[in-house]
Amino acid sequence: MTDVVALARSGQPVVATSFDEWRAAARDLIVRRLPPESVQWSTQDGGGDLLSGMPPVVVAGSKVVDEVVAQTPDMSSDPPPRISRQLMELLQSAACYRAPDRWAFLYRVLWRWHHGEHEVISMADEDGARLHHMAKAVRHEEHDMHAYLRFRERPEEAGEPRFVAWFEPAHDVLPQVARHFARRMGKTSWMIATPDATVLWDGATLHTGEALARSAADFDDAGEALWLTYYRSIFNPARLNADIMHGHIRQRFWKNLPEAAVVPHMVTQAAAGARKVGQLDTVGKRGGTTIPISSEKAAPERQQPSSLDECRRCDLWQNATQAVGGQGARRAKIMLVGEQPGDQEDLAGKPFVGPAGELLDKAMDEAGMDRRTVYVTNAVKHFKWEPRGKRRLHKTPAQKEVMACHYWLEAELESIGPDVLVALGSTALKSILQTGSVTMKDYMGAPFEHDGRMVVVTYHPSYALRVPDRESRHAAFAAIVEALKTAQRLADGESPGA
């Protein structure tokens, strides 16, 4: 493990051991107006103490810090910094991320926030994007440790602890994970060893100390042979998909899993014919009348995400600030479907609140449509973008991403029950029709029926903003207004040809 050392202007190092101390030190430095560039941070070997795996920090109010401040009498003091709960949680998580410059980086984030740059916690900001990335990586590491840590039971004559485990975390998450298992395992004693530290739970108290083991091989488990026998017995070669199995569990976890010792042999057997034999044996043992059933109905129903925030049906969630659902009347006759959230929608968590939304509001006003009576949503719920300097530029979603997100559009259609859909742009049209081989020009100006609803197709408001000449912008805007009027007439019961 390493201790973080703050190199102040005097060059004298200050050693610390906890996030709380770092917070107090950062508070003191900001009060004394020491900017990030005037403080140097480095790491030294800390001797393997568990707490050095927690966010190492500068000790506030230490003699060295007081001396550094005393050597800068020309600096006046600021009021103590106040930060939001969201920023505090991000700092605490990101502090567990292993990076050589993490302490300097976190202090720079805090400094910027204190000086009014609150966009520092936004994914659109360079520092904010890195802060969110660090916090997300730490959360993923905690989840992986919960999922892939394997306890081995020790013989009774060996005494306490009853269970031991080995894990090699990529980030400093051992203390948080230890508290998780202390809550989960009650009064049962256990120990978790890592290459850097060890934590012991005696049933009432967590004890920390230096590393006591070098690998999982240092722990024996008398019951592991029984577990592997059970694992082999439930293995079904007919349902094996080795690529998916290895894709779900990264290589660095496999080497410490007990079942890793038998999986390669079982995969080889499956490839050599055990898959076919397993299928025949299973079918041959089943008696009774054969009931014909379609393959769609025979396939097991996959568990779907219960909320939009939990959606992982495609990869867009990884770089978005948040999912953006629809908004509007819960029993609207008209539903407007756009492409995806933009930069401002991604930050606000609401659809059509940026420049395109302002243009859409203007078009609705001219069409005599009250936005409060309609439902507005997007075909894709996460912002897809690419960096361009400090800006996030819109990037058109791929068809596979549109198809993956159709699950949520279907849920909205079922919940809202609109009579008319307005497809704003080609992506919305492809989502509604569930095909990528359509073009807007084939449907513009001619409402049509689809799945019991009327569909009106027009330009996306962003198109009317970005076309180069004024005449084309006016024409696009007029087409949007006319489409909204058509949708209003259809919702009021008029026939499409009226």
Task: Give yes or no: residues 329 and 444 share one domain.
Answer: yes
**How big is the chain, counted in residues?**
498
Task: Tell me phi and psi for residue 417, to 5 degrees.
Answer: 65, 50
| Domain assignment of residue 186, yes or no | yes
Q: Please state at what angle helix 85-94 crosses helix 126-148, rounded to 10 degrees.
A: 60
Task: Give yes or no: residues 323 and 459 share one domain.
Answer: yes
| Domain assignment of residue 267, yes or no | no
Task: Give yes or no: residues 89 and 201 share one domain.
Answer: no
| Domain assignment of residue 277, yes or no | no
Task: Give yes or no: residues 89 and 176 share one domain.
Answer: no
Strand partners, 454: 420, 449
Tell me what pLDDT residue 148 has.
83
Structural domains counted in the chain: 3
| Domain assignment of residue 468, yes or no | yes
Residue pLDDT, tens place only, 251-286: 676 666 766 666 676 677 666 655 455 444 444 445
Q: What angle do CA 479, 483, 486 make, to 5 degrees?
A: 140
Domain end, chosen from 143, 168, 190, is at 143
Task: Give yes or no: residues 462 and 339 share one domain.
Answer: yes
| Domain assignment of residue 435, yes or no | yes
Give the Cβ contact number of residue 250 at 10 Å: 11
Task: Give yes or no: residues 13 and 120 share one domain.
Answer: yes
User: Which residues does 118 contact at the CB level (< 8 Å), separation at least 6?
Assistant: none
| Domain assignment of residue 309, yes or no | no
**What does each of the 498 residues of the chain score in pLDDT, given as a tens digit?**
333 334 444 544 444 456 776 787 778 888 888 888 887 765 554 433 333 333 332 333 333 233 223 333 344 456 777 889 999 999 999 989 998 888 889 989 999 999 999 999 999 999 999 999 999 999 999 998 898 888 888 877 777 888 888 888 999 899 899 999 999 888 999 999 998 889 999 999 999 888 877 766 666 555 666 666 766 676 666 666 666 666 666 667 666 676 666 667 667 766 665 545 544 444 444 555 555 666 555 555 555 666 888 898 899 999 999 999 999 999 999 999 999 999 999 999 999 999 999 999 999 999 999 999 999 999 999 999 999 888 899 999 999 999 999 999 999 999 999 999 999 999 999 999 998 888 898 899 899 999 999 999 999 999 999 998 999 999 999 999 999 999 999 999 887 765
Sign of CA dihedral 357, 362, 365, 369: negative
| Domain assignment of residue 176, yes or no | yes
Residue pLDDT, tens place only, 451-460: 999 999 999 9
- CB-based contact 267:242 (threshold 8 Å): yes
| Percent helix / strand / coil, the chain, rounded to 5 | 45, 15, 40
- Measured between alpha carbons, how far is 179 from 172 in angstroms, rounded to an integer? 14
Specify the CATH number for the domain of residue 470. 3.40.470.10
Task: Give yes or no: residues 354 and 481 share one domain.
Answer: yes
Tell me what pLDDT residue 66 has.
31
Task: Give yes or no: residues 344 and 451 share one domain.
Answer: yes
Domain of residue 398: give its range: 314-491
Scan for tokens 């079904």, then name that residue.
236
Tell me what pLDDT residue 25 has.
75
Task: Give yes or no: residues 71 and 8 share one domain.
Answer: yes
- Measured between alpha carbons, how far is 185 from 275 in angstroms, rounded to an integer? 38
Task: Give yes or no: residues 321 and 438 share one domain.
Answer: yes
Scan for tokens 């609803």, then name that residue.
453
- Sheet arrangement for strand 448-450: 327-328, 375-378, 334-338, 420-424, 453-458, 448-450
Task: Tell me phi and psi for residue 222, to 5 degrees.
Answer: -65, -25
CA atoms within 13 A of residue 444's CA, in its CB half-sphere: 15
Task: Give yes or no: residues 69 and 156 share one domain.
Answer: no
Domain end, chosen from 196, 218, 240, is at 218
- Claim: this prediction has a pTM higher than 0.85: no
Task: Give yes or no: residues 365 and 470 share one domain.
Answer: yes
**Phi/psi-derived region of residue 24, left when phi > 0, alpha when psi is between -120 and 50, beta in every other case:** alpha
DSSP state, residue 97: S
Tell me what pLDDT residue 65 has.
30
Which residue pairs from 400-407 have beta carbons closer than 8 angstroms and sit at least 24 positions apart in sequence?
Answer: 400/314, 401/314, 401/316, 402/427, 402/430, 402/431, 402/436, 403/431, 403/434, 404/313, 404/314, 405/311, 405/313, 405/314, 405/379, 405/380, 405/381, 405/431, 406/379, 406/431, 406/434, 407/304, 407/313
- Measured between alpha carbons, how far is 432 from 423 in angstroms, rounded to an integer? 8
Domain end, chosen from 127, 143, 159, is at 143
Which residue, among 382, 375, 311, has the nearest Cα to 346 in the 3D structure?
382
- Measured between alpha carbons, how far is 334 from 478 in angstroms, rounded to an integer? 19
- Biggest distance spanned by C-alpha atoms of the chain: 92
| Domain assignment of residue 290, yes or no | no
Residue type, 286: R
Strands 375-378 and 334-338: parallel
